[in-house]
């Protein structure tokens, strides 16, 4: 059973990072944090369900449910600590792995997983919430061609941003209107319960 759980979480972690830009540091400082009640509640997005709950005064707990992924046939969920911030007039979400204590991990597996932040641009629209994750392929291409300068490390397979929060914010603001910098937006539609 532990092996199954280890494969599940490792697979989910890889799938989640496959299209995202991981960062060692958060995108925000305390001064950047905002809270919008409009984000609270349950949202549908394809085969996924996003449930945002308030955590503390200005934070969110996201329970992300995904049906029928590559590794299992049952519904699974992962917890994330999410922070909403506003930079230069745009809203962004900073996702960080939560407790996720519903699965039984080996201490060896846990020691190999690096908790990282991932970011997405968010827009509150009449139809719901649009979330656009940064395009990992776009960034990797620019880094490979030395067309962009931001502190990072490259493993055999992944780029990981090591830039400070200040550098990350400058990067995000600079490229916030570049269409290729983001994947197509996912529309989260409110679930009326």
Whole-number pLDDT of residue 13: 45
Whole-number pLDDT of residue 103: 53
Stretch 78-105: mean pLDDT, rounded? 86
Residue 78 and residue 48: Cα distance in Å, rounded? 11
Residue 8 and residue 13: Cα distance in Å, rounded? 8
The more confident residue out of 68 and 7 is 68
If you average pLDDT over every residue of the chain, what do you get?
A: 84
Residue that is written with structure tokens 């949202």 in the block: 43
Number of domains in the chain: 1
Nearest to 133 by CA among 116, 120, 148: 120
Whole-number pLDDT of residue 14: 43
pLDDT at 126 over 70: yes
Rounded-to-10 torsion of CA 97, 103, 109, 113: -10
The more confident residue out of 111 and 55 is 55
Non-local (6+) Cβ contacts of 189 within 8 A are 43, 44, 45, 127, 128
10 Å Cβ neighbour count for 68?
11
User: Where in the sequence is the domain holding 167, given as residue range(s)?
Assistant: 2-190
Stretch 11-36: mean pLDDT, rounded? 78
Residue 53 and residue 112: Cα distance in Å, rounded? 29
Stretch 150-156: mean pLDDT, rounded? 90
10 Å Cβ neighbour count for 73?
8
Residues constituting the chain: 193
Whole-number pLDDT of residue 105: 53
pLDDT at 72 over 50: no
Residue 54 and residue 19: Cα distance in Å, rounded? 26
Tell me the pLDDT tens digit for each residue of 90-102. 999 999 988 765 5
Residue 64 and residue 152: Cα distance in Å, rounded? 28
86 within 8 A of 121, measured Cβ to Cβ: no
First to last CA, the chain: 34
Residue 48 and residue 52: Cα distance in Å, rounded? 13
């Amino acid at each position: 059973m532990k092996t199954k759980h280890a494969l599940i979480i490792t697979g989910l972690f890889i799938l989640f990072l496959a299209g995202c830009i991981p960062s060692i540091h958060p995108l925000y400082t305390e001064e950047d944090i905002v809270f919008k009640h409009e984000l609270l509640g349950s949202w549908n997005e394809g085969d996924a369900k996003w449930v945002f709950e308030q955590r503390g005064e200005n934070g969110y707990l996201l329970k992300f449910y995904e049906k029928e992924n590559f590794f299992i046939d049952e519904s699974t969920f992962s917890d994330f600590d999410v922070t909403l911030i506003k930079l230069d007039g745009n809203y962004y979400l900073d996702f960080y792995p939560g407790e996720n204590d519903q699965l039984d991990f080996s201490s060896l597996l846990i020691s190999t997983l690096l908790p990282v932040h991932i970011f997405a641009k968010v827009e509150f629209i009449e139809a719901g919430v649009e979330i656009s994750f940064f395009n990992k392929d776009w960034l990797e291409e620019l880094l490979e061609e030395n067309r962009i300068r931001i502190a990072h490390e490259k493993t055999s397979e992944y780029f990981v941003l090591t830039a400070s929060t200040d550098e990350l914010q400058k990067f995000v603001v600079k490229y916030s209107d570049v269409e290729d910098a983001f994947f197509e937006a996912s529309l989260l539609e409110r679930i009326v319960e």
